[in-house]
Structure 1
Amino acid sequence: MSHYQRLLLILHPALRQSSALEQAAALARSSSASLHIVGLLESLDKLRFLETGDRLAERQAYLQSQQQQLESQAQALRASGVQVTSEVAWSSDLQADILERALEIQPDLLLKQVDHEPVLKRAFFTPLDWKLLRHCPIPVYLLGAARPALPRQIVAAVDVADSSPEGEARNESIVQQANALALQTGAQLDLLHACDLTMAYMGDMGYSTWAVGDVGEQLRQTLEADFRALADRYGAPAERCHFVLGRPVTVLSEYVETHPVDVIVMGRPFAKVLDRLFGSTTEHVLYQLSCNILAV
């Protein structure tokens, strides 16, 4: 039985020819899932070049034009065996409209192309992709640069340093989602843990200090043992398990640069004050990794 029954792709109508559409269609085809494509246009008030003449008529004509073009793409996908529906709509609040459709359709995955926001803009405005990571109740599959239509190598990035019930549940969800995607696409699946001894030690002790010497080595051994136990629980072979010392963003960036990774599956921590201000690991790697990210 397929792991995916319904897929929801959020697409800017101007990106109809993007790799995001190709990847979403390939995943739908491989899993016999239905694919609903939603093209959202930001409010006409922001489009100055359309602010002359009969604005209502122009607004409707522009919407119909975009709908027809997207529907043409949908027809081509139907001819290739994909069960697809499409719609285009105006939106004055992209986050609210995306979440509303996610709740209405209840897809197994919400797919969207990553918007690479400039650093200066991120300093003043929370990116839409970050908002979806924080608030979307279903797994969010963010598509980066052009990749193979179906992934060939998937990495499940777990965090064994978080031994809380929430952390253990998150790791379980990460592995399960990564395994489901790998089985559905025939991709190779690896497990990875970025071992940041400083943060792990600070988390255990409750104050700022450095994990060095015997204490640091003991902590490393404990975390590595926990990682091996997690891998054994899911039957992951040793050659597919990677325990790497370093800060998560750095480790993941370097790993993707040196390995042909198509998708990294990561968790979405419960939002903390610092996460809301500065962004979580998952949010930051959006702008440093060229591969896709599945956040669960």
Structure 2
Amino acid sequence: MGQYQRLLLIADPDMRHYAALQRAVALAQASGAALHIAMFVQPLAVFDDNFQELPREGQLEKRRLWLQTETAELTAKGIQVTIEVVWNEHPLEEVLVHVAQLQPDLLLKDAQRESALKRVFITPLDWHLLRECPVPVHLLSAAGHPLPRKVLAAVDSASPETQIPGLNDQIIQAATALALQCDAELHLLNTYDLSPAIFWDGAAGAAAWSADFAGELRNSLHLAFNTLADRYGVPSERRHFVMGPAINTIAEFALKIQADVLVMGTVQRHGLSTLLGSTTEYVLYQAPCNILAVKPPAATDAV
């Protein structure tokens, strides 16, 4: 039996992005999963001049025909695929309704890249899905290979009191499922920060560095990381323990090993943290590869 039973693809209404469709078809074919393709058309999101003058039903029919053309050969290949095109002014709500009804193992979507200013004041659907969607979200900006060849899981071995319970396990399990299904290499990455070893030296009137504490901190984090990797049988040559700020270090390392998919955790955020965004959301705009974002167990149980 494959790692996935049901896949949900959110297709772009402008019909110009193909990475998510390519990946969804490849995963469905490899796993035997049923693939449902949903396209949500917003009245103000119709940018194609050929469609703007059409009445609503005409715009929907054009997109149905496009999806039918794109998926025509899939049934002949044994893939169970269904399509729908919906006129909707609130795509996030509609996506979440579909997730609740279909119970997919994975949601796939082409990634939207917005300017920093627009991201602050007009949060794109991608950001909302990272925060709200209870199932793993696979955002794709490019699909160099139909199926990934290298999957990189980014975990955090910080002390338990600062961790989100079960999130590391969810990340590794999602990454493992994808790697197994695609016969891809699974790599495990832990970035760490030794800034707690910096303290204020009143006598010197400047910041000072405690080498002993830094060493103890690093060893503690490394031990926790190896314990986690041991639990999932990750070979030593695919364990990567790297010092540096999380956002830049994760993106740079993904580029270094030429990862196809970066698997990270995300949580629902409110207030100021919503404005600032999470590590996963910022990495989305810097990572040189596609993103698979997962929620901790408490969030997934709510599906």
Q: TM-score, normalised by structure 2?
A: 0.87
- SS for the counterpart of 2:164 is helix
Percent identity (aligned): 45
Q: Of the candidates 131, 136, 149, which is equivalent to residue 133 of structure 2?
A: 136
- Supply the distance in 2 between the matched residues of 1:291 and 1:257 (Cα, whole angstroms): 8
Further displaced range: 126-135 or 25-34: 126-135
Map 1:5-20 → 2, pairs under 5 A = 5-15=5-15, 18-20=18-20
Whole-angstrom CA distance in 2 between matches of 1:210 and 1:193? 26
Find the aligned partners of 2:39 and 2:45 in 1 and give their Cα distance: 18
Is the CA contact 1:159–1:167 (under 8 Å) kept in the aligned structure 2?
no
Task: Tell me, yes or no, if the aligned pair for 1:162 and 1:168 is still in contact at 8 Å.
Answer: no
Please tell me the root mean square deviation across aligned C-alpha atoms, in Å: 2.4
Amino acid at match of 1:241: R
How has the CA–CA distance of structure 1 residues 32 and 64 changed in structure 2, closer, same or farther, with 3 Å as cutoff? same
Describe how 1:1-296 pairs up with structure 2 within 5 A: 1-15=1-15, 18-43=18-43, 58-164=55-161, 167-198=164-195, 212-271=210-269, 273-296=271-294
The answer to whether the 8 A contact 1:145-1:291 is kept is: yes
> Which moved further from structure 2: 179-188 or 266-275?
266-275
Offset, 1:219: 0.8
2:243 maps to a residue whose letter is L
Query: CA 1:144–1:276 in structure 2 vs 1: closer, same or farther (change >3 Å)?
Result: same
Amino acid at match of 2:65: Q
Task: Work out the number of aligned pairs and report it.
Answer: 286
What amino acid is the match of 1:102? Answer: V
> Does the C-alpha gap of structure 1 residues 223 and 166 become closer, same or farther in structure 2, counting only changes over 3 Å?
closer
Distance 1:44 1:144, change over 3 A: closer
Unaligned 5+ residue runs, structure 2?
Answer: 200-206, 295-303
Q: Distance in 2 between matches of 1:116 and 1:36?
A: 24
User: Are residues 51 and 221 of structure 1, via their aligned partners in 2, closer, same or farther at CA, if it must alter by over 3 Å?
Assistant: closer
Amino acid in the other structure paired with 1:222 = S
Relative to structure 1, the CA distance from residue 270 to residue 215 in structure 2 (aligned partners, 3 Å threshold; closer, same or farther) is farther
* Contact 2:46-2:52 at 8 Å conserved across structures: no
- Provide Cα deviations, 1:77-130, integer angstroms capped at 9, x if missing partner: 222332111111112012111111111111000100100011121121222111
CA contact (8 A) 2:3 2:181 kept: yes
**Compared CA separation, residues 17 and 101, structure 1 to 2 (3 A):** same
The one-letter code sitting in structure 1 at the alignment partner of 2:83 is S
After TM superposition, the score normalised by the length of structure 1 is: 0.89
Question: Runs of 5+ in structure 1 lacking a partner?
Answer: 203-208
More helix by share: 1
> Letter of the aligned partner of 2:2 in structure 1?
S
CA distance in 2, matches of 1:79, 1:200: 61
Q: Tell me: CA distance 1:14–1:155, structure 2 relative to 1, closer, same or farther (3 Å).
A: same
Structure 1 distance, partners of 2:98, 2:251, is: 32
Change (3 A) 1:62 1:160: same
Q: For 2:8 and 2:134, locate their aligned partners in 1 and report how far apart those are by CA, in whole Å.
A: 13
Give the direction of change, closer, same or farther, for the CA distance of 1:162–1:295 in structure 2 (3 Å limit): farther
